[in-house]
Structure 1
Amino acid sequence: MHSKKSDGKNLPDYFSFGWMMLISLCITLCLNWPTMNSRFWHTFTQDWYHIACANTFATVFIMITFTNIFTSYLDSKWLWEKDLWKRLVFQILLGFMAPILICYFFSWISFYFLNVNISSTRYIRNMSSLLVLICIMINLLHVVYYYMYRSSEWLNSTAGKPKPAPVLYLFIPDGKGEKKIATAAIAYIYVENGTTYIQHHNSDLDVCFIALDSIYKKLDEASFFKATRSYIVSSAAVEGYVKIPHKGLKVRLQPETPEPINVSRSKAPLFIDWLKTDS
């Protein structure tokens, strides 16, 4: 429904000229469709009906056009996701109120050239609520399309980002400095009583004041697996596992762990695939 061009800042263009014409025509027919009576077909031949349709079409087209212009301008100034309240205020002023005022001004001019005093007719009273409703719908369409367009850009940018390479060494706090630990020397990492511990293959143990999830993001997923909420295990430390019916797996590690490592039933197939792939 909208054009797919962008201004280089991942911002959408909205209704194209053809769609603005089509939408204006549909709204015009809906608002000016004559009642079903004996003079139904006769109405289409009347000059006053043609003038009413032309005026409605032009009014709606102008409203959509200026809503497009003002909304595109606001997109370049304040993004919805970054300056929501400021954008909302200016969207109401420029994207909503300004097009309606422009439409009223156009209607006044068109009635003036028809030698009709617009204030002496019921046009303003009858059309006011319709113009407001149409403008609200157009603004909502713009907002919906904006987020649809931007979300696709966000997903593409996220998918296009390469995953950081796994680190070969971890640096953990050590007094006033840091201690360097080779990831190849790590057997498993676990949390106990809120403290993170790093267990080495040679039975050394380090205390690490870093969250388990933060450490896991840095490790090579081919060599390390988060078996439970409290344990990250190295494939080199796994001696084997035992299947527990309807529960999952019980994993044996070397060095031995302070508590049993029970992999859940949902994670069990992933753990087995990871272990066999790494080996």
Structure 2
Amino acid sequence: MADIDAALTGGNYEVLRARLATGGQELARRADALNTTRKALFGTTEPQLIATERVRTEHNCAPVDIVGVGDHLLLGFNVFLGLKSETKIGDVLALHRFEPQPAGQGGAASFDTSAIALEADGPAGFLCGADLARDFANLYRYYRDARLMQLVKLDTQLLAVFQAGASWRDRKVLRWRIEPDRRLTYVDDRGDRDHAAMFPPAYDFEWIEVTRNHQVSGKHPHYNLLDTLFVECVHGDLTIKVENNTETGQGIYAEPVDDANQSLDDAKLYFAALGAPPGSAS
């Protein structure tokens, strides 16, 4: 009996596999036919490599990203500076030329990719300035393991994304404004939201940040969330209650916190109301 069941199971698998293979082949055929029609209607230009160049930097580095800035290239990289005590902007970002050169022997194309000096009145002036120097110095002073993660060019902004902690979620984002004449003007180091806005939301609802307006004072102060849940995080634990009662610290759930001396203001809470509102008919 077991052999018969195994044979039937094996036969079903082969049937399903054959159907999937046939469906895949048909899908590939239709995609090729659609692509052929697209080329006939709109034409096509196949990408082609015309030259390769080496971009030389002042230090040995690990390249991270590269973006076009006007007629130049902005290269971002991470370096290990050894005994050097201070990391400067030129140790992480460098502007390079990207200028076609006369064809060499055999007609091969070539480009000038030499570095451009960091001078306030030159093409790399957007990498100079007191505000940028201060924010960049603070980044590497207060976040010892800071490193560049990404360069992002948007319609009106240029972002330099740095990891500023143990997790990639710990970000610090320097941002420049792209002027109508394509010049770059440094803005500040608070481009986190601009970078986050590039990605689709992780949730289909909105998180609401808890503020002082949600606080209820008393012997055991807590946060009032929509008159439904009450969160207390004093006296050494985080407690969830279902009664708006600050005389007792008892609730339906509790767990210890890292710092038993923390106050209510030390907690950073977000909540979201999902489903039917409290008190409504189901």
TM-score bin, normalised by smaller chain:
under 0.3
Structure showing greater Rg: 1
What is the TM-score of this pair, normalised by structure 2? 0.19
Hey, which of these two has a bigger chunk of strand by percent? 2
TM-score, normalised to structure 1's length?
Answer: 0.20
Greater RCO (CA < 8 Å, at least 6 residues apart): 1
Q: Which has the higher helix share?
A: 1
